[in-house]
Every structure is written in structure tokens, then in C-alpha cells.
């Protein structure tokens, strides 16, 4: 039986949007479970290749844009960043998970910063929000499977798998991911990825790129 004529066009659009969002949430949940299973069993296939940090960031930001609402994303990439040798699909998912988390746990009119720079033999990528922050006791536990931080009576939809998967993928690439909170003024959380800088491919070097 069809109830299409019983609802106005705006109501139908809202219902369809809700159905789409719930379907995507279920798809992410199933995908997270599969990724977690593969990580734990050592069956996750990693296809590493040379990647520009800017390309990774751009792909992840594009995916998360429609979840931003009134939030803003500020991208801060240092000049002459080296390339990293990672699985593009997996690491784009890591950045998307971190950006998605930042939007869920930050005010609707706030700014989420994505910063990338080189520090010695590492490339550092940080996703920084202006949310309430994470209690000190939870800074390491947030990477445990199914662990979710409670902020009073606030409840945000999630599986508690995203950060655990992010850490697993980072470590599978020889890197790490940690949480820092507060960031400024007693608020905010920074999720920090560190990736080792490897000898750059022959066809690429920051010096050559900067030459006139």
C-alpha cells in the first residue's frame, strides 16, 4: 500500500533523507565490523603506494562535508610535505573517521582543524575539534573496541569501533595515533597521526618541486 499522497513533498523529502542516513549508518557499522575482524585476524590487505597528503585530505574532507551542518573545516598543510607510502583507501577512511568523530562531538557552529606538518622523521596529521574534550582517564581507552566517552546525558550515535580501527590501520603502516585533550581553554580534542617518512620515490622530491 502506498502512503505517498498522505504526506507533503517536504515531509517525503525528510523521510527519504532519514532513510538514506540510517542506511549509510548501518553500512558504516557493518563495514567497521568487517574491518575490525580483518585487523584482528591479520587478514586486512594493505595496498601501499606513494600518496600526496593533500590528496588524502581532500578526499576525506569531500566525504564529510554533508555531515558538517554549520561547522567549518580549516585545512592547514605545511609547505613541501613529503609523500607517504600508504593504502589510499584505508587511510582516507582513517581521516574520514576522525573528521566524522570531530563533527559529532563539537558544537554546530564550531571549526574543525586538519593540520599536517613534518616533524623530524615523521609526518604528523592532526584533527582538532572545539568540543567538550575527553577526560584524562579516557584518552587511551577511546581506542578500545566499543568504548564510548559519556558526556553527562549527551548521547551521540556511534559504534565505538571507529577509533580502534583508525589505530589498527595506522599501526599496520608503521605509524601511531594518540588523543590529546584539552587543546585550548579547557576544551577540544586533538587526534594525532604519526607516519614515518620514507626515502622518497625517484620522480619526487620536495627540492625538485620547489625549484624554479
Identify whether 148 is part of a domain.
yes
DSSP 8-state class, residue 203: T
Answer with the residue of higher pLDDT: 204 or 101: 101
Residue 57 resides in a domain: yes
**Residue 158: pLDDT above 60?**
no
Kindly state the average pLDDT of the residues 156-185.
Answer: 83
Q: How far is CA 55 from CA 7, 22, 106, in A?
A: 43, 28, 25
Q: Is residue 88 part of a domain?
A: yes
Is residue 183 predicted with pLDDT exceeding 60?
yes
**pTM of this prediction?**
0.75
Confidence of residue 144 (pLDDT cuts 50, 70, 90): confident
- 3-state DSSP percent of the chain in helix, strand and coil, to 5: 40, 20, 35
Predicted local confidence at residue 153, as pLDDT = 42
Cell of residue 11, nine digits: 515531509
CATH number at residue 131: 3.30.565.10
Burial 88-124 (b: 16+ CB within 10 A, else e): bebbbbbbbbbbbbbbebbeeebebbbbbebeeeebb
Query: Would you state the pLDDT for residue 180?
Result: 95
Q: Which segment of 7-16, 53-62, 78-87, 189-198 scores lowest on mean pLDDT?
A: 7-16
Residue 58, pLDDT > 90, answer yes
> Is 177 contained in some domain?
yes
Taking a C-beta distance cutoff of 8 angstroms, is the pair 178, 109 a contact?
no
Mean pLDDT of 23-50: 67
Q: Which domain holds residue 106?
A: 48-199
For residues 70 and 109, the answer to whether their CB atoms sit within 8 Å is: yes
The answer as to whether 16 is a domain residue is: no
d(CA 196, CA 157): 33
Beta pairing, strands 111-119 & 84-86: unpaired
Give me the mean pLDDT over the 157-177 stretch. Answer: 81
**Quick one: pLDDT at residue 149?**
59
Q: What is the pLDDT of residues 102-129, one digit of tens each?
A: 998 899 899 999 999 999 999 999 999 9
Q: Which range has the worst mean pLDDT, 41-50, 57-66, 109-118, 119-128? A: 41-50
Distances (CA, A) of 28 to 85, 93, 110, 177, 191: 25, 11, 25, 21, 20
What whole-number percentage of the chain has pLDDT above 90?
45
Evaluate whether residue 22 is within a structural domain: no
| Contact call for residues 103 and 109 (beta carbons, < 8 A) | no
Is 40 part of any domain?
no
User: Per the domain annotation, does 43 fall within a domain?
Assistant: no
Under 8 Å between Cβ of 85 and 198 = yes
Indicate the number of domains in the chain: 1
**Mean residue pLDDT across the chain:** 81
51 pLDDT above the threshold of 70: yes
Amino acid at each position: 500500500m502506498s502512503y505517498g499522497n498522505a504526506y507533503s513533498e517536504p515531509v517525503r523529502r525528510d523521510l527519504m533523507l532519514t532513510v538514506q542516513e540510517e542506511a549509510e549508518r548501518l553500512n558504516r557499522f557493518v563495514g567497521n565490523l568487517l574491518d575490525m575482524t580483518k585487523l584482528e585476524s591479520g587478514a586486512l590487505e594493505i595496498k601501499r603506494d606513494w600518496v600526496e597528503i593533500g590528496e588524502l585530505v581532500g578526499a576525506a574532507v569531500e566525504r564529510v562535508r554533508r555531515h558538517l551542518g554549520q561547522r567549518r573545516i580549516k585545512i592547514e598543510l605545511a609547505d613541501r610535505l613529503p609523500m607517504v607510502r600508504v593504502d589510499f583507501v584505508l587511510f582516507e577512511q582513517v581521516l574520514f573517521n576522525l573528521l566524522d568523530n570531530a563533527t559529532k562531538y563539537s558544537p554546530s557552529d564550531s571549526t574543525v582543524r586538519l593540520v599536517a606538518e613534518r616533524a623530524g622523521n615523521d609526518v604528523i596529521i592532526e584533527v582538532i575539534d572545539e568540543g567538550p574534550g575527553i577526560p584524562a582517564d579516557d584518552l587511551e581507552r577511546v581506542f578500545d573496541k566499543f568504548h564510548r566517552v559519556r558526556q553527562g546525558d549527551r548521547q551521540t550515535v556511534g559504534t565505538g569501533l571507529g577509533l580502534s580501527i583508525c589505530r589498527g590501520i595506522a599501526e599496520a603502516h608503521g605509524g601511531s595515533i594518540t588523543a590529546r585533550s584539552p587543546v585550548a581553554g579547557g576544551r577540544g580534542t586533538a587526534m594525532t597521526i604519526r607516519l614515518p617518512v620514507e626515502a622518497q620515490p625517484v620522480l619526487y622530491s620536495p627540492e625538485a618541486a620547489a625549484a624554479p
